Structures are given as C-alpha cells and as structure tokens.
Amino acid sequence: MIFFLSDNGGPRKNGETFANNGNFREGKGSMYEGGCHVPFILHWPKGNLNVGEFDGLVSALDIAATAVAVGNGDTTGNALEGKNLIPYLTGKQKGSPHNALYWRMQDGMAWAIRTEKTKFLKLNKKGAKPELFDMKKDPFEAKDIVAKNTKKRAQMAKLWNDWNQGNISNRYLQSGEYQKKRLDLYKKMYEKEQQAAAKKKLLVIE
C-alpha cells in the first residue's frame, strides 16, 4: 500500500513559480484551498479499490488509521484521530469519512472549518475577518457569502466550538521562534565563556 500526498499547497507568497496550485487561492501557509487542498493518492493493487477519484473529505491523519486497520493492528488505548479509508474506497461505505475538517493556528490567530458543502475561516493576516464560502458552487473561494448567511455561519461556528472544546491551549511555538531562542542561548553561553576565559591565566610550562 502506497500513499502519495503533499503536506501543503505550493508557495505563492514571494513570487515563487515552481509550484502550481491551479485555480485555488493562495498557497502554503494559507487556509484557502491553495494551502490545504492537495494531491492525495492511494495505490493498493490487492485492495480491490474503485478506480478513479474520491470526493469525500480526507486528511493525512487517515493514513495511520487506514494502515493500522489493514494490518489488523492493535487499536486499544487512545483512539486514532483519522478514519480507515478502505471501506469508502471499495464502495462498502457511502458518504464522506469526515463530516468536517478543522484547522487551528496559534490558539485561534487563524482557523478554518470545512464541510463538503461549506467552508468558514479566518486567515492568518492582520485585519482578517471571518469568511464563508459555498464550496459546491464556488470551489475556488471567489465570493465571500458570510454577510448574507448568518444562519449557516452560526451552524459552522457551532461545529467548530463543539470540536474545539476537546482541545487544549497551544503549548508549542513556530519553528522560527525556537530557532531564535536557541541562537540566543548559544550567544549568551558564548559571551559568558568568553568573559570567563579573559580572567584565566594562561598555562606556563616550566
């Protein structure tokens, strides 16, 4: 069984041209589809999978759950967050593996919730406001309909709030912030050792 996928869309922030996200908006780091709607291919000749595209909501978290299920692995203990995709890909089970997918960045600086029909999000940009899109009619997120759909906004917000109740506040920094702290630690250690070395007398051999 082989899984092939991208962890995010291609970069677009600095004029990069080596990636192509098609008509999806933006790219890596964005919660628009250009940042999170990516290729996901499962190849398993012995699995009797239906050939072609699958239209349900799928996550990289499903890889572990699928592999464990196929390998009859031990599923006791903490439940896996993903879903076993095989019943959906063989046609034994209909619908989408997930009712919704969720993204949360730095305790809510940015967030998104995506169902098959709707997407509700707030981007990680200064001054960003919540946006709502009809993903069936507008898969490329061209028209924000949040102002005219207060009922749908409330429904999506409830889905998010119910899911987020089971989470904890963020405990981790972005990788760049760890790098800054690490370099600052090395700098302080170096300065301390440099001062100590200046006070030491050099060895004189007689």
Q: Got the DSSP string for 104-131?
A: EEGGGTEEEEE-SSEEEEE-SSTT---E
What's the mean pLDDT in 150-162? 96
Q: Residue 49 has what pLDDT?
A: 87
Contacts of 169 (CB under 8 A, 6+ apart): 107
Q: Residue 47 has what pLDDT?
A: 82
| b/e 172-181 (16+ beta carbons within 10 angstroms → b) | eeeeeeeeee
In a domain, 3, yes or no: no
Of the given ranges (58-62, 132-136, 157-161, 174-178), which has the lowest mean pLDDT? 174-178
φ, ψ for residue 63 (rounded to 5)? Answer: -60, -50
In a domain, 34, yes or no: no
In a domain, 111, yes or no: yes
Whole-angstrom distance, CA of residue 91 vs CA of residue 94: 6
- 41-84 confidence digits (pLDDT tens): 999 988 888 878 888 999 999 999 999 999 999 888 888 889 99
In a domain, 50, yes or no: no
Q: pTM for the whole thing?
A: 0.82
User: Number of folded domains in the chain?
Assistant: 1
In a domain, 133, yes or no: yes
Of the given ranges (32-36, 50-54, 85-89, 119-123), which has the lowest mean pLDDT? 50-54
Whole-angstrom distance, CA of residue 31 vs CA of residue 8: 10
Cβ distance 8 to 29 under 8 Å? yes
Q: How confident is the model at residue 192 (pLDDT cuts 50, 70, 90)?
A: very high
Q: What is the mean pLDDT of the chain?
A: 92
In a domain, 205, yes or no: yes
Whole-angstrom distance, CA of residue 44 vs CA of residue 142: 36
CATH number of the domain enclosing 155: 3.30.1120.10
Range of the domain at 180: 99-206
In a domain, 76, yes or no: no
Q: Residue 15 has what pLDDT?
A: 73
SS3 39: coil
What's the mean pLDDT in 168-175? 85
In a domain, 143, yes or no: yes
Q: Residue 144 has what pLDDT?
A: 97
Q: Is the pLDDT of residue 17 over 90?
A: no
Torsion of CA 27, 136, 82, 24, to 10 degrees: -10
